[in-house]
Amino acid sequence: MIKAVIFDMDGLLIDSEPLWRKAEIEVFAKCGIILSDDDCRKTTGMRVDEVIKHWATIYPKAKLNVNETLNAIMEKVTALVVDKGEAMSGVYRTIEFFKNKNMLLALASASNYNLISTVVNKLNIKQEFATIESAENLQYGKPHPEIFLTTANKLNVRPEECLVFEDSLYGVLAGKAAKMKVVAVPEEANYNKKEFAIADAKITSLELFSSDLYEQLQNEIQ
C-alpha cells in the first residue's frame, strides 16, 4: 500500500527547467563552453556539481572551477526563479488529492536547500511536506537512489510504500532503483524517449493524474 508520496521539484512542481538551461548556457559560455538547450537536457536531474564535472571532463581546456561555476549557476537560477518561476500545471490539485487521502508528502530534489527554500516559498507549499530533502550533502546524486531512500527513512516508511513523481530520466532511474513506484511526467521534448518505459506510469502533466491511475498503482503494490 502506498503510504507516502515523494515529489521531485525542478520541472515537476515548478517550471524551472528552462530557467536552469538559461543559467547554465550563460555561465558556461563565460567559461568558453557553448551549450545548446539539448546539451543541457542531457544532464537534467543531475546535481549541479555533477553537471559541472560532466562538462569539465568533455571540455578540459576550459579548466572549470567547480565551486565558482556552481555558485554562479545557482545565483543565476535562483534569481530567475524569483523573477519568473511558476507552478507547473496540476501541482496544487495533486497535492490536495493526496492530502485528502492523508498521505505523507515529501519533496526530494537534486537542488540545494537554498533553491528549494526559494521555490517552496515562491509557490507557498512548504507547509505541505512532512520532510524536504536535498541531495546537496549526500554522497550521491540521482540516478543513485540515496536521496529517495533517505527520504523514506525520514518518513519512517518502507521504500516499497512510496510513490515518486519525477520529470527527469535520472530521477525515474533513482526512484526505481529505490524500489519505489514511479510516475514519470517528462517535458514535451523528452516525453517519447523510450527510456521512460521503466516508469510505472507516464503522463504529460500532473493535471492528468487520476483516481483510476492511483487505484491501479495501489493495486500493483498490494
The answer to whether residue 200 is catalytic is: no
The answer to whether residue 8 is catalytic is: yes
| Catalytic site residue from 10, 49, 167, 200 | 10
Burial 156-165 (b: 16+ CB within 10 A, else e): ebebebbbbb
Place of cell 527547467: 17
DSSP string, 95-150: HHHHHTTT-EEEEEESS-HHHHHHHHHHHT-GGG-SEEEESTTSS--TTSTHHHHH
Q: Which three cell numbers stand for residue 26?
A: 550563460
DSSP letter at 163 equals E
Query: In the sheet where 131-134 sits, what is the strand order?
Result: 131-134, 104-109, 4-7, 162-166, 181-184, 201-202
Catalytic residues: 8, 10
